Amino acid sequence: MSKQTKMGILGLLLVLPSFLVLFVIVVLPIALSFKESLTNASGGYDLSNYIYLFTNKLMRSNIIFTLEVTIISVLLILAISYALAVYMRFNNGAVVQWIRRLYMIPMFIPGVIATYGLIQLLGNHGWAARILYQFGIESFPRIIFDMKGIIIANLWFNIPFTTMLLGSALSAVPNSVIESAKDVGAGTIQIFFKFILPLTYKTLLVGATFAFMGVIGSFTAPFLLGPNAPQMLGVSMEQVFGVFQQKQLAAALAFFTFLLCSIMGFFYIREMIKDEGVKA
């Protein structure tokens, strides 16, 4: 047996434990859920559960609502996180130091506690309403228990991690690149779009992928801060499975959510492969 063959076998043996773990906790549950989602009321297999998802008015509204909340949340997360990361990268002073000290705090607060805090802050009789009442403002706008409440919670949960990712990418941008661009007369906007953004695009895509999957699969905030109807897919799945005992329909919802995440993952992987191909 040649040395190259031995090294190949050794490599397979090293990868095998990780592959088995991945197969048991990811691949196998997905396959079983897909099989369950194809099961109809009579025990046969068809697409009736998926047809119901897109023909039932309530289910269709839940899907649209979930996509709206996810897309809006991801765009706001990326915009705010990138702005914070750029500001901390290219500025100094007391404000930057305070941001560096505080922006990571939400990562260490449990989701249930943070959600309860938002209810206490933004509810009809919360702290914000009481403070405004002292200034003669008696009506407080409805912020939570609808789409806005879920989006605010998503910003709280995702901005710190995304900012950390983008800040790490921006710190790797050489100052010499920025200074050279300024020397040849490039303005701030040109430097951003021609140098900073291309150099941090991969990390931005990673942040978008994590934010998308985190938002679309969230449950705590949509359950406690969202409306009764329409609902996010995670909440709808729990209702279908736990309240109505429709196991096959819940499996169809789960697999459809997986497909949505897979679409985002596909674009991410394609860009990574394309980038590796360019380097090669």
DSSP state of 27: I
As a whole number, mean pLDDT of residues 54-78 equals: 94
pLDDT value at residue 1: 63
How does pLDDT run across 195-242, given as a tens digit for each residue? Answer: 888 888 889 999 999 999 999 989 999 999 988 889 999 999 998 888
- Looking at the predicted structure, is the pLDDT value of residue 279 above 70? no
pLDDT value at residue 2: 72
Tokens of 208: 């978008």
Q: What is the mean pLDDT of the chain?
A: 87
The rounded percent of the chain whose pLDDT value lies above 90 is: 34
Task: Quote the CA–CA distance of 152 and 117 in Å, as a whole number.
Answer: 12
Residues 238/255, Cβ–Cβ less than 8 Å: no
As a whole number, mean pLDDT of residues 69-87 equals: 94
Task: Map out the domains of the chain with their CATH numbers.
Answer: 56-279 (1.10.3720.10)
Task: Quote the CA–CA distance of 7 and 24 in Å, as a whole number.
Answer: 26
Residues 234/219, Cβ–Cβ less than 8 Å: yes
For the chain, the residue count is 280
pLDDT value at residue 277: 57
pLDDT value at residue 280: 46
Amino acid at 42: S
Q: Which of 86, 97, 100, 92 is nearest to 167 (CA)?
A: 86
Task: Quote the CA–CA distance of 30 and 258 in Å, as a whole number.
Answer: 8
How does pLDDT run across 125-149, given as a tens digit for each residue? Answer: 888 888 888 888 777 788 888 899 9
* Phi and psi, residue 35, nearest 5°: -60, -45
Would you list the DSSP string of 103-172? TTGGGGS-HHHHHHHHHHHHSTTSHHHHHHHHTT-------SSSHHHHHHHHHHHHHHHHHHHHHHHHHT
User: Which of the residue ranges 6-20, 36-50, 110-124, 168-182 would you say has the lowest mean pLDDT?
Assistant: 6-20
As a whole number, mean pLDDT of residues 88-111 equals: 87
As a whole number, mean pLDDT of residues 8-13 equals: 80
Q: Band the pLDDT of 275: cuts 50, 70, 90.
A: low
User: Which of the residue ranges 28-32, 47-51, 243-247, 271-275 would you say has the lowest mean pLDDT?
Assistant: 271-275
Q: Greater confidence, 277 or 121?
A: 121
pLDDT value at residue 82: 94
